[in-house]
Structure 1
Amino acid sequence: MRRRWSVLGAAACVLVAAGCTSGSDEPEVREAAAEGEGWTVLVYSIADTDLEPYLLADLAEFAEVGSGENLQVAAMVDRAEDYSSDPMLGIDDWVGAKYVSIGQGSAEELEELGDVDTGEPAPLADFIAQGIADHPAEHYALVISDHGASWPGLGGDEGSGNSTLTLEELRSGIGDGLEQAGLDKLDLLGFDACLMATYETASTMAPLADRMIASQELEPGHGWDYRAFQVAADDPDVDVDTLGTAIVDGFAAQAEAEGTGADITLSMVDLNRMGDVDAAVADFSEALSERAADVAPVVGRERAEVLSFGRDPDPTVDTHMADLGLLASEIGADALDVSDQADALIRAINDAVPYKVAGPAALGASGLSIYFPPTEDLLDEDYASVESAQAWGGFLSSYFGAGEELPEDRRASFAGDGGAQVVFDEDGLNFSATFDDAAADAVVSAAISYGELGEDGSITFFGEEQAEVAEDGSGDVLGIYDLTVMTISDGEDTSYAYLTLTYDDEAEVATIDVPLAYYEPGEQEEYRDVTLSITFDPESGDVLNETYYGYTEAGTYGELTADPAGIIVPKLLVVTPDGTQSWEPATDVGLFADLPNLQYDFETLASGTPLYAQLSVTDFGGNSDSVDAEVVVP
């Protein structure tokens, strides 16, 4: 369902197949399996999380196709205790794991597995080996479904201490399962999870399958449309590219129907071509490292503007994943001494991603992301242990080193107040200033923030938007704020909310990211970090997509499943006089977490409202400076 802003507020599983169906069809399917024809799909469904209702719906979609003469579908389904009590395709609710065959409209239990830690590679290996042994076929697909986290891996088995599978554990689990089954590799490896279409993932998985399907962006809860596997049921000789294309198209069509298509991505990656991508990433990383001091300003500017995924206003929750192809393209266009290496990487990515889809908010997505935190203090030390990231990690070290060595007189700074001026016009507040000429090459981004000044000197911010830096080298910066504040209401209470606004001129869409906290019913201390992502048309005000994404205790991401009796609390950024920053609740009451019925609006500040505005610039070393103004809304 689409909503419309009442006030326009933005000027400025592994696929595992069981090869049998229930009832009278079983002998026929067993015979076909014995001949090794058609496709076997193995589904590793980590449903011991709040995604359980969505994953059960996915298996119901599979049952609309079901095992048959040409297609066998088997799944290992690990269920949770609290999120759903619904039966699954005729099997009563359970807690723990079962090995099942997905028939047409029903499922057959093949084995009761009990408590299984899906964050360990051994159960994954056992499932793959058993599934292949039970259901021999000519082609094999494996899809893993759950929360994803890009290079840290996926999962979050709540029944096993939020255990996750790292990339190395995924590689060993899948590899061991294939070895036990006597199979060299899969035809298709799918990750129906957030953020898994990364260079790090594809490089690690390359020896295990011919194709990989995954999303660069956070995935809506409905995930893939598994009815797309009908093409394999219809034709046992269907090739992996035809099947993969059907899966990608099915996901896009379902997202459009569900109203979640504005910011989706899904890529089919030819893993057989990842060797060329590995070589190109290594050459590009080496070229950047050798010229780190010279190219760092260009790299920093492009990193600040490039399409990124899993964003959050709180940098400790943000995933810091950037589109690799777009990043290489923009860096190569501005830093000519690395353009050859950038061009080679772009060609390698284009060859390795034969098919993909992207919504308007992800326009131009190349199909593969890469980890790139903007500053060294945000770099996760575990990234150094990712084998496929060694070359890129070396570049990151060189880039951050160049930032540390940036001379003080070249760091982002305003001389005095920078000639700061505040003017009100029909667009709202126009805040302009000029930073030092010496910092012109080092500055990579600028922003305008706005809020209110407290009696104790602390500042409570309720928004930040990108400001414009003049391209003529003058150091002039202009930020525009339209004098509206975002509010969220549950129909009983209303709260202010903090937002960051991202606008893409080419895509002609804008995205608002809002940081929130979610408390389970009865919980007052522990909460989950949540990001509300809203994509809208800035011309008409029409909302194209709105989704709540939760950050799990395991460090993975997925669409939030909220109890309507729970509480959602918007967070505001508070900066104390000594510069300490923290995210604080915007309301002491909170809002009921009945997510579909929460209402968003933009409230225009009343005439006479005191307002604090801040204009800031940041260089590639992470150094920032700002000028501020205390004004009254006319």
Structure 2
Amino acid sequence: MRRQWSVLGMSAALLAAGCTADGETAAPSGEGWTVLVYSIADTDLEPFLLDDLAEFAEVGSTENLQIAAMVDRAADYSADPFLGLDDWVGAKYLSIGQGEATELADLGDVDTGDPAALADFIAQGVADHPAENYALVVSDHGASWPGVGGDEGSGHSILTLDELRGGIADGLAEAGVDRLDLLGFDACLMATYETASTMAPLADRLIASQELEPGHGWDYRAFSVLADDPATDVDTLGTAIVDGFAAQAAEEGTGADITLSMIDLHAMADVDAAVADFSAALSGRAAAVAPVVGRERAQVLSFGRDPDPEVDTHMADLGLLAAEIGVGALDVSDQADALIRAIDDAVVHDVAGPAARGASGLSIYFPPTADLLSPDYASVASSRAWGEFLTSYYAAGSEIPAEQQPAFVTADGEAEYFFDDYGLNVQAAFDAAAADNVTWAGISYGEVGEDGSVTFFGEEQAEVSADGSGTVLGSFDLTVMSISDGVDSSYAYLTLAYDDDAEVATIDVPLAYYAPGESEEYRDVTLTITFDPETGDVVNETYYSATEAGTYGELTADPDGIIVPKLLVVSADGTQSWEPATDVGLFADLPNLQYDFEQLGSGTELYTQLTVEDFGGNTDSVSVVVAVP
């Protein structure tokens, strides 16, 4: 790729950028803005990314706004022409004009997960389009600290944070540009502390989302502020992008779950120092503060959730987490307050839908237990201080004495239960010696199989009494979720996230998607449904998928593919697995799938279980089998 770029663009680059007497590249001169778009469209997001570039063409290059894109297209997801160019497979280097695109070079098969490809695009884009200000947008699937991309034509290759930093830095150095004015990730989950800290030397501002992004992504018509006034500063541009994203999400019906942050990367040095101090304070008091930390981690706003912990991204809102820990553990409150102030100073402008109410603008990786921690996290340069805290937190959890671990105490080994107008209520108490260590309690429900296994249909949070008695109360409304394609239907597992003060509640449903012709390989999918808890009305629904590369994005499904809900099965020996809910599956015509909540019939034998967990991941459960009245 680097050789191809140099052959195609060497003369243009030398003429545009010039060379100093000692051979070093001189910074190109120009006015206005150049926007470079690194469009990793060799994925199932190809139709969405082409729509984004078409939005850019509604603005188009002008005298003082130049838009250049490297667009790597896939073979399977779209055969549509694009802005006057016939369909292609592989990468093209384009100039985006007003309602049209001009091919500057056909690059052939490009691995967009190679940082050299990114570096060459930046260097060539700057050389060909000199300006006073530069923005770079990287667009595709995202995964928070693991990186972005998933180039299907190159073995699902991604750009890690380290590779992103190296590729961007090399491209800017070759172009003779000190730093970008704006760096944007139009991708899921990239507004993280790890990302912002890593990218801090490369740009003045970063724009990214804490949450999974709907497929439509940003509204690129927001860049019209640059065409209207080439002297527009970066904060005005960034504000237009953030607000434009929110406005488009409202129009598309996806606004309930969104987040988007503009971050002042010059302020990240203070955030780095505050994270280091907060992490050190927590590490130094790990045994004492771990119960508070664990409780707040279990409750804090999180992103990229899935009922299956192996699919969940384990990203927690950093500002909210620090705020709650600071209230619950006063001996680290000074460090927590300093971190909150640093985040507030760094996040210049942001939006959040009602399901992400209060989001601080930056998240951080925090798996609840050590077995869920990815070993790759240690390779992220910005993770050192936080990683040391995680190590101390998990160590404290492993040292909880057996007598202080959760253990239900019931006279006959079963929970108590009663029915009321809401449904079923299940109650039991655990040994009060574990009360200080317990972080979470839940109620789950399902049916018992002939082999003694239990197939669960869902899980909701239960209430732990605040009086220290260890009493746990869980409630279930006696309805089970089903999904239908109009021909077949299937039960589906759900987890319910609900805050009494929130405007909306969220249901997450684990699914598997099989592409047409596939019977073995599938993609993990999470259906997220946001609804009004007062009326039950659905606010929005989105199917998000995990790629083979471990990145995330909205699912592009072939209607002839198959969607299969997954149910949690616990065997008689306690082994857990996620199993298909049906042997038939449902056609993946996503807009036409129907959801319902079926009332369990009178006499249905229902298995219900209360579970409590401490910050070390130790759990205990108590169950009861009841007949629905």
TM-score by length of 2: 0.95
Aligned-pair CA distance for 1:419: 7.1
Equivalent residue number for residue 418 of structure 2: 423
Quote the Cα distance in structure 2 between the aligned partners of 1:361 and 1:285.
Answer: 28
Equivalent of 1:471, from 446, 466, 469? 466
CA offsets 1:462-500 (integer angstroms, 9 cap, x no match): 000000111111111100000000000000001000000
Equivalent residue number for residue 609 of structure 1: 604
Q: Does 1:150 align with 2:144?
A: yes
Aligned-pair CA distance for 1:506: 2.0
Letter in 1 for 2:396: A
Equivalent residue number for residue 316 of structure 1: 310
Aligned-pair CA distance for 1:508: 2.4
Quote the Cα distance in structure 1 between the aligned partners of 2:96 and 2:42.
Answer: 19
Equivalent of 1:565, from 556, 560, 573? 560
Equivalent of 1:202, from 174, 182, 196? 196
Equivalent of 2:64, from 70, 93, 96? 70
2:344 partner SS: helix
Equivalent residue number for residue 629 of structure 1: 624
Aligned-pair CA distance for 1:34: 8.0
Q: Does 1:432 align with 2:402?
A: no
1:47 partner SS: coil
Letter in 1 for 2:384: Q
* Cα RMSD, aligned residues only: 1.2
Letter in 1 for 2:351: V
Equivalent residue number for residue 586 of structure 2: 591
CA offsets 1:77-117 (integer angstroms, 9 cap, x no match): 00000100001100100000000000000000000100000
Letter in 1 for 2:617: G
Aligned-pair CA distance for 1:245: 0.2
Quote the Cα distance in structure 1 between the aligned partners of 2:78 and 2:175.
Answer: 34
Letter in 2 for 1:370: I
Quote the Cα distance in structure 2 between the aligned partners of 1:419 and 1:104.
Answer: 70
Quote the Cα distance in structure 2 between the aligned partners of 1:133 and 1:191.
Answer: 22
CA contact (8 A) 1:469 1:475 kept: yes
CA contact (8 A) 1:419 1:434 kept: no
Taking a change above 3 Å as real, the CA distance of residues 522 and 618 of structure 1, as seen in their structure-2 partners, is same
CA contact (8 A) 1:75 1:101 kept: yes
Equivalent of 1:229, from 223, 242, 247? 223
Equivalent of 2:157, from 155, 163, 173? 163
Q: Does 1:485 align with 2:476?
A: no
Quote the Cα distance in structure 2 between the aligned partners of 1:484 and 1:415.
Answer: 29
TM-score by length of 1: 0.94
Quote the Cα distance in structure 1 between the aligned partners of 2:625 and 2:469.
Answer: 25
2:455 partner SS: strand
Quote the Cα distance in structure 2 between the aligned partners of 1:456 and 1:159.
Answer: 45
- Residues 68-467 of structure 1 correspond to what in structure 2 (within 5 A)? 68-416=62-410, 420-467=415-462
Equivalent residue number for residue 24 of structure 1: none
CA contact (8 A) 2:28 2:127 kept: no
Quote the Cα distance in structure 2 between the aligned partners of 1:306 and 1:632.
Answer: 35
CA contact (8 A) 2:484 2:595 kept: yes
Quote the Cα distance in structure 2 between the aligned partners of 1:509 and 1:410.
Answer: 36
CA offsets 1:508-554 (integer angstroms, 9 cap, x no match): 21100000000011111110000000000010111111000010000
2:498 partner SS: strand
Letter in 2 for 1:618: E
Taking a change above 3 Å as real, the CA distance of residues 337 and 108 of structure 1, as seen in their structure-2 partners, is same
2:334 partner SS: helix
CA contact (8 A) 2:414 2:623 kept: no
CA contact (8 A) 2:414 2:622 kept: no
Quote the Cα distance in structure 2 between the aligned partners of 1:394 and 1:550.
Answer: 31
Aligned-pair CA distance for 1:507: 1.8
Equivalent residue number for residue 3 of structure 2: none
CA offsets 1:295-333 (integer angstroms, 9 cap, x no match): 000000000000000000000000000000000000000
Quote the Cα distance in structure 2 between the aligned partners of 1:70 and 1:160.
Answer: 36
2:177 partner SS: coil
Letter in 1 for 2:304: G
Letter in 2 for 1:128: I
CA offsets 1:180-222 (integer angstroms, 9 cap, x no match): 0011100000000000000000000000000000000000000
CA contact (8 A) 2:316 2:365 kept: yes
**% identical aligned pairs:** 80
- Residues 6-45 of structure 1 correspond to what in structure 2 (within 5 A)? 36-45=30-39
CA contact (8 A) 2:33 2:131 kept: yes
Structure 2: stretches of 5+ with no match in the other structure:
1-11, 14-26
Quote the Cα distance in structure 1 between the aligned partners of 2:46 and 2:243.
Answer: 24
Letter in 2 for 1:422: Y
Letter in 1 for 2:389: F
1:354 partner SS: strand
Structure 1: stretches of 5+ with no match in the other structure:
1-17, 20-32
Equivalent residue number for residue 529 of structure 1: 524
